[in-house]
């Protein structure tokens, strides 16, 4: 390939495609390199894509895109060994104004990539970008096994393990504490069974977060698709390392919980997958630009772990990267200074504003794992005590409940936790 492109995008995920589409629409000459045999072949998430941000690229995309279900209910499960407390929010407004859609990435991503292709971007699959190419201190392209691909700006959207961002010196090795390993299974069940078990209409779905099923900082997740369920756990690599437990073992323990097992009973395993999630937040966001290169999506560690948002940050960072290149092209200036405007755009958008707002949250929960263990246990124990009917007088019952709670966490500890949460989120 001797042709030089306006931009070489590495990775055909949400960030890369959003960037490629944005630039191609503006008439730029764009090539996208994807290492998988098709877009999405290497991608895994919970998960959902969000209507609001996806619509910025593809209005009313759900009419043609391969979506699974729209989410009408968000569930929060607090598990103890043999019990759970379930808090959930279901709203008919999610039926009239869609909020999020469950998808399978191996099906959605090819559809999304087609948008960029139809706008004129060239998408080359089965091509791994192994290294960045430099000339005079500026990045001028990437090396692949098929040869060099040159462009004015390289956009590294090569995912959480981004080799390119590291080779460009924009990112250091990620610490264990800032990285979560997600292990997931796709389990097939008849459509009707899913709708019966989760109390859903034909197109409706749930998104669930589950904590407390094992000691340590783990979070389970569950999403209903058309005729499959995506179910898995996320564990920080640090926690995994310290606990000396295996990821699959933690996942199997979660799946065997008496409140969870019936939901997936008789299901057939279709796929077992694993993926890293960069959950370190604002302080771990990489340097996102240098002369001739920008970094977007997971590659730049743009994930909001608090609200379980990722694909929308990826798409938005892709759009902003694309806009930065369009402006740079107009001015024919691909210097460090010119491309620094990408960081400014990110700082001005919800992407870095939200991450900045939650800046201290990841560290706080790492330092206070009892939120994931003691509190779910206390909630379950108190709920149990409240519901048991026997001869005990209610005045004694409430006294005993208070004593149980304060045994788990002192009055001062409870106050401090409440105050910390208040400060942390406001």
Contact by Cβ (8 Å): 364, 67:
no
Is residue 382 part of the contact set for other proteins (CB under 8 A)? no
Question: Which of the residues 313 through 372 are near other proteins (CB under 8 A)?
Answer: none
Residue from 5, 45, 50, 111 that binds other proteins (CB under 8 A)? 45
Question: Is residue 338 within a helix (H) or strand (E), and if so which, with residue range?
Answer: helix 336-348
208 DSSP β-pair partners = 75, 222
Residue from 25, 84, 218, 275 that binds other proteins (CB under 8 A)? 275
For other proteins, which is the closer residue by CB, 84 or 105?
105
Contact by Cβ (8 Å): 14, 318:
yes
The conformation of residue 90, written as its DSSP 8-state character, comes to E
Interface region with other proteins, contact rule CB under 8 A, candidates 248-256, 329-337, 357-365, 410-418: 248-256
Is residue 114 part of the contact set for other proteins (CB under 8 A)? no
Q: DSSP alpha helices (H): ranges in 26-96? A: 51-55, 93-96
C-alpha–C-alpha distance, residues 312 and 49, integer Å: 7
Residue from 58, 276, 340, 405 that binds other proteins (CB under 8 A)? 276
Interface region with other proteins, contact rule CB under 8 A, candidates 119-127, 308-316, 379-387, 407-415: 119-127
For other proteins, which is the closer residue by CB, 44 or 119?
44
Question: Is residue 393 within a helix (H) or strand (E), and if so which, with residue range?
Answer: none
Question: Which of the residues 83 through 112 are near other proteins (CB under 8 A)?
Answer: 104-107, 109
Is residue 290 part of the contact set for other proteins (CB under 8 A)? no
Residue 128 token pair = 């791994």
C-alpha–C-alpha distance, residues 298 and 224, integer Å: 24
Give DSSP secondary structure letters for 231-270. Answer: EEEEEEHHHHHHHT--HHHHHHHHHTSTTTHHHHTT-EEE
C-alpha–C-alpha distance, residues 336 and 342, integer Å: 10
Is residue 259 part of the contact set for other proteins (CB under 8 A)? no
Specify the pairing of strand 4-10 against strand 293-295. Answer: unpaired
For other proteins, which is the closer residue by CB, 221 or 334?
221
Residue from 3, 37, 55, 333 that binds other proteins (CB under 8 A)? 37
Is residue 212 part of the contact set for other proteins (CB under 8 A)? no
Which residues contact other proteins by CB under 8 A? 35-37, 40-45, 104-107, 109, 125-128, 130, 144-146, 160-161, 163, 173-176, 179, 181, 183, 185-186, 228, 230, 237, 240-241, 244-248, 252, 256, 258, 261-262, 264-266, 269-276
């Amino acid at each position: 390939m001797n042709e030089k492109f306006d931009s070489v995008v590495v990775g055909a995920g949400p960030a890369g495609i959003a960037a490629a589409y944005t630039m191609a629409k503006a008439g730029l000459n764009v090539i996208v390199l994807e290492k998988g045999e098709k877009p999405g072949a290497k991608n895994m998430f919970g998960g959902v894509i969000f209507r609001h941000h996806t619509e910025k690229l593809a209005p009313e995309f759900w009419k043609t895109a391969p979506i699974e279900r729209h989410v009408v209910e968000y569930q929060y499960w607090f598990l103890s060994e043999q019990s759970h407390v379930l808090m959930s929010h279901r709203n008919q407004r999610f039926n009239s104004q869609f909020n999020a859609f469950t998808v399978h990435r191996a099906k959605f991503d090819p559809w999304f990539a087609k948008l960029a292709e139809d706008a004129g971007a060239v998408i080359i699959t089965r091509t791994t970008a192994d290294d960045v190419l430099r000339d005079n201190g500026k990045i001028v392209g990437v090396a692949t096994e098929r040869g060099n691909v040159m462009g004015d700006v390289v956009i590294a959207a090569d995912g959480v393990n981004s080799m390119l961002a590291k080779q460009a010196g924009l990112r250091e090795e990620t610490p264990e504490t800032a990285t979560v390993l997600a292990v997931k299974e796709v389990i097939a069940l008849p459509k009707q069974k899913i709708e019966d078990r989760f109390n859903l209409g034909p197109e409706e779905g749930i998104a669930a977060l589950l904590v407390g099923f094992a000691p340590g900082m783990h979070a389970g997740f569950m999403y209903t698709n058309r005729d499959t369920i995506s179910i898995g756990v996320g564990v920080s690599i640090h926690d995994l390392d310290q606990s000396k437990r295996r990821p699959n073992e933690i996942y199997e323990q979660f799946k065997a919980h008496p409140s969870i097992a019936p939901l997936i009973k008789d299901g057939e395993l279709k796929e077992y997958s694993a993926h890293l999630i960069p959950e370190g937040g604002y302080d771990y966001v990489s340097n996102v630009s240098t002369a001739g290169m920008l970094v977007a999506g997971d590659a730049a560690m743009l994930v909001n772990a608090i609200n379980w948002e990722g694909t929308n940050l990826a798409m938005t960072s892709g759009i902003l990267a694309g806009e930065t290149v369009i402006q740079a092209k107009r001015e024919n200036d691909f210097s460090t200074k010119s491309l620094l405007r990408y960081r400014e755009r990110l700082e001005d958008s919800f992407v870095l504003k939200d991450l900045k707002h939650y800046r201290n949250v990841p560290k706080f929960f790492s330092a206070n794992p009892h939120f994931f263990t003691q509190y779910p246990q206390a909630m379950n124990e108190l709920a149990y005590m409240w519901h048991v009917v026997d001869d005990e007088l209610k005045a004694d019952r409430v006294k005993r409940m208070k004593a149980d709670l304060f045994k788990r966490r002192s009055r001062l500890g409870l106050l401090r936790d409440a105050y910390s949460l208040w400060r942390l989120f406001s």
